[in-house]
Amino acid sequence: MAYFSVFHEYIKRKKSAVGLPFIALCWISFFWGTTWIASKEGVKHMPAMQLVAIRQLFGGLIYLAYFLIKKAPWPNKRQWRNILILSILNFMLSNGLSTWGVKYISSGLGAIIGSIFPLWIVVISFFRGEKISWRAALGLVICFSGICVIFYDYLNDFLEPEFQFGIILSIIATFTWALSSIYIRENKTNFNPYFSLGLQMLISCVAIFSVIETTGETVALSEIPAISWWSIGYLVIFGSVLTFIAFIYALEHLPKEVSSLYAYINPMVALFFGYILFNEPLTVSIAIGGAVTLIGLFLVNKAIKKA
């Protein structure tokens, strides 16, 4: 409730300024939830990392074209270093592995696992010798309890190697996203964040294409079915371009407690549409476990922001 009370006070203080930022927050909450569905549909018919590379190619080119037209300054040496590191953590590993993961697990489960990256921030901070608050410790325990409840309905699936592989990929993706968050916090630069995103996408695209071409994990473009191309188009426009613009805009114009609300809504959107479109399981255990996990994440996020 603390998040909503902050938002209420913010509205009272700045009623005239809340319109667009609030719309941006709603946009993020919905469309980033649906990108799990688009990824799931796309990877049914083509190699996951090829889909990721194509998505990032088009998304990166859109950003690059805009900034070339605007004749924006290019990054300096230190900014290039940050862009290179973030392209590896954010797009090659986090986005790439999470997309690969949903090839073997449900989109709703992938979204829930994707939302727990703050837990890794707490764990990493602990091993770096930083003090952990009681809120963070309690949030960790609650999250772990919620995840145990969620996986109760998936116990039989753990006997399947592909399901295990999908879970491992998804967990590694959340770990690298946490590393990225910590790196950004400790290595800030004043380079345009949108231009940085485009360059990160293009760098990761080139790297991923190099790997999958070497390993033979590709199919001819003519063999990619229309449904996968529609998924890629959706992921480029709504996942890689418009929603990232809305995300950075919301961060700049809303209190942190409010702008982070999307993280609690995305999994619910993915679970709902996964159930409606793909008949993915949406049982009482998953619903209760998901709610408990989000409560734990709320405590962890609150502890991180306070620190």
3-state SS, 156-190, equals: HHHHCHHHHHHHHHHHHHHHHHHHHHHHHHHCCCC
The larger pLDDT score, comparing residue 156 to residue 248, is at: 248
Residue at 196 is within a domain: yes
How many domains does the chain fold into?
Answer: 1
For range 9-19, the mean pLDDT: 49
| Residues in contact with 86: Cβ distance below 8 Å, sequence separation at least 6, in sequence order | 180, 183, 184, 196, 200
pTM for this model (two decimals): 0.81
Residue at 86 is within a domain: yes
Strands (E), 101-252: none
Residue at 210 is within a domain: yes
Residue at 15 is within a domain: no
Q: What local confidence, expressed as pLDDT, does residue 145 receive?
A: 81
For range 59-67, the mean pLDDT: 91
Residue at 49 is within a domain: yes
For range 239-255, the mean pLDDT: 81
Is residue 243 pLDDT above 90, yes or no?
A: no
pLDDT tens for 31-53 read: 888 999 999 999 988 999 999 99
Residue at 3 is within a domain: no
Residue 7 to residue 22: CA distance in whole angstroms:
10
Domain that holds residue 119: 22-306
Mean pLDDT of the chain: 82
**203: its two tokens:** 């760098």
The larger pLDDT score, comparing residue 84 to residue 142, is at: 84
Residue at 10 is within a domain: no
Residue at 297 is within a domain: yes
Q: What local confidence, expressed as pLDDT, does residue 11 receive?
A: 42
Residues 234 and 38 sit within 8 Å (Cβ to Cβ): yes
Is residue 10 pLDDT above 60, yes or no?
A: no
